[in-house]
Amino acid sequence: MFALDKERIKKILISEFGYDPNAADLYLANYPSLDDIFKDPVLAWLEDRRILETNIDGVSIPKVMQAHSCNFLTAVSTINDLFTRQFTPDQKDVLRRYLVTPPIRA
């Protein structure tokens, strides 16, 4: 598993994304450990907020961000579920489709 530099991420969340320090702490306290496949994309993002077009088990981070209007860290943690949870192959396929399909909003 890839260990995040949570202090560095906290500084980014506060200074660049306007998070309150307590909200940043709460967000990161619940943030999951990531599969090693996310090391390069996360390090690139930490370096200069660059988002790599890496294909991760058939899903890319930018596509998830666009489909769900979410930030990089949320997209990564959601894709990470493909690796850290026990799914049947059919359940993985459903999750992959969900990740790249925008939700229907009323």
Greater model confidence, 57 or 72: 72
Give the global pTM.
Answer: 0.88
Residues 44-71, mean pLDDT to the nearest whole number: 94
106: pLDDT strictly greater than 80: no
| 61's tokens | 């981070």
54: pLDDT strictly greater than 90: no
List, for residues 32-42, the tens digit of each pLDDT value: 999 999 999 99
Beta bridge partners of 100: none
d(CA 39, CA 2): 6
d(CA 16, CA 30): 20
Burial of 15 (0-12, 13-18, 19+ CB in 10 A): exposed
**Start-to-end C-alpha separation, the chain:** 38
